[in-house]
Structure 1
């Protein structure tokens, strides 16, 4: 995604490639193409409660604001992992990490800016039992989203989640909460963002041929990461279609949030 973004931008632009392993960040940044925008590696561990805010402060000092942000952090989980053993760290990265990034960087968006949370088509109420829909539907603030994520996490940890109809595949509630976070923040920002031409959306890249996905499914025929990044880049660099604002988008099409919509 960073490579594709850098190729589409100009030499005067800067693309930040972030991660929590300094060696991997440096290596990845060094291997980026020398055409298009400059790629700069920067440490960011979204599981650290203050890290996103600290990086946002640094980038604001350097550039005055941001034009495009992708929230793409994810913790790898395999079929053999016990949800009770991994869920605390998992939510710190995937969910609280996402809302921290949103709080830190959406105030820095310039006119015409884009903030895209990379989520999944599994992140809709279609994949949750109806009795759970009100946990994530109609939330109006990121604090409310965080509260529901914490309640789900605690229910998994204390063993009560199974009786509450929560799915065993933890990716589903996690991704649903990510989309709910986008919807909640969009509700707060909609009028001002429309005036300023800003797009806030969630995006599903579809199945991708990666080692992590290969633990769960046969991904031999799935697109490569570079191929899967193209629709996300098109979303971020294309027009800010009003119908996509605050919604989950897959391959340019808006996905319904719940049955009957």
Structure 2
């Protein structure tokens, strides 16, 4: 029986994914910032192994990985779904967006990598807002020039004077998702991942009617989750390191 771990699984797309994968015969590890919230996912069904995991905390992520290993479990699928959608352009908001939307998935990938099965799939839930066209020329160049994950983590700084980002909606969210996309590209070329046929994808679920997306969004939660599910068992045309919506490739640019 394959196993899938989902971050941010207590509501919205993450909750939908948890139940969809359980119905497909997966053992699902739904994670949330508290064990109580993670257990709530499993309240109405079997096949769940709830786990506390706060993507903002190195210690929490490491502990979750250690507990998964202690249970003798391996991961066939990791879905980095947890995210935030902050508004203003400020240092505090930028740091929050980067810690959750970028560093969170990196923490999780690194901590759980030893537990991936050969042929495992990592799906980073990104956004069309992560396309580089939504970033300023300066950020676009800096992100594109990053050749390693650590460069993405360390080289992308808050620039209070960037007029393009100051004048756009959800600027910190856009930058954090653009960085996550770049990490996806870099991790797909990781020698260990390549030798074990581990595939890494970025996925846009679309604008979804969740607590984060709001009531005016154009897609249902089920439709957003379906975009992610299309990559759980990828087809030959799904290239590791690619960016997809509804199973179809979209541009990083």
TM-score, normalising length from structure 1? 0.80
CA contact (8 A) 2:136 2:165 kept: no
Partner of 1:30: 43
What whole-Å deviation, never above 9, does each CA across 1:70-111 have from its counterpart, x for those lacking one? 00111243x5x5644433233221111121112112332111
Counterparts of 1:63-142 in structure 2 under 5 Å? Answer: 63-77=72-86, 79=87, 83-142=90-149
Task: Find the aligned partners of 2:84 and 2:174 in 1 and give their Cα distance.
Answer: 14
Structure 1 gap ranges (5+): none
CA contact (8 A) 2:203 2:228 kept: yes
Other structure's SS at 2:163 match: coil
Larger gyration radius, structure 1 or structure 2: 1
- Cα distance change on mapping 1:214 and 1:7 into 2, 3 Å: same
What whole-Å deviation, never above 9, does each CA across 1:107-155 have from its counterpart, x for those lacking one? 3211121111000122121222333322111422211110133x13xx3
Counterparts of 1:1-261 in structure 2 under 5 Å? Answer: 1-9=17-25, 13-31=26-44, 33-34=45-46, 38-77=47-86, 79=87, 83-149=90-156, 151-152=157-158, 155=159, 159-162=160-163, 167=168, 169=170, 170-189=172-191, 193-214=193-214, 218-219=216-217, 222-239=218-235, 241=236, 243-258=238-253
- Cα distance change on mapping 1:209 and 1:255 into 2, 3 Å: same
Other structure's SS at 2:84 match: coil
- Cα distance change on mapping 1:205 and 1:94 into 2, 3 Å: same
CA contact (8 A) 2:97 2:173 kept: no
Structure 2 gap ranges (5+): 1-16
TM-score, normalising length from structure 2? 0.83
- RMSD across aligned C-alpha pairs, in angstroms? 2.4
Alignment length, in residue pairs? 236
Task: Find the aligned partners of 2:53 and 2:19 in 1 and give their Cα distance.
Answer: 18
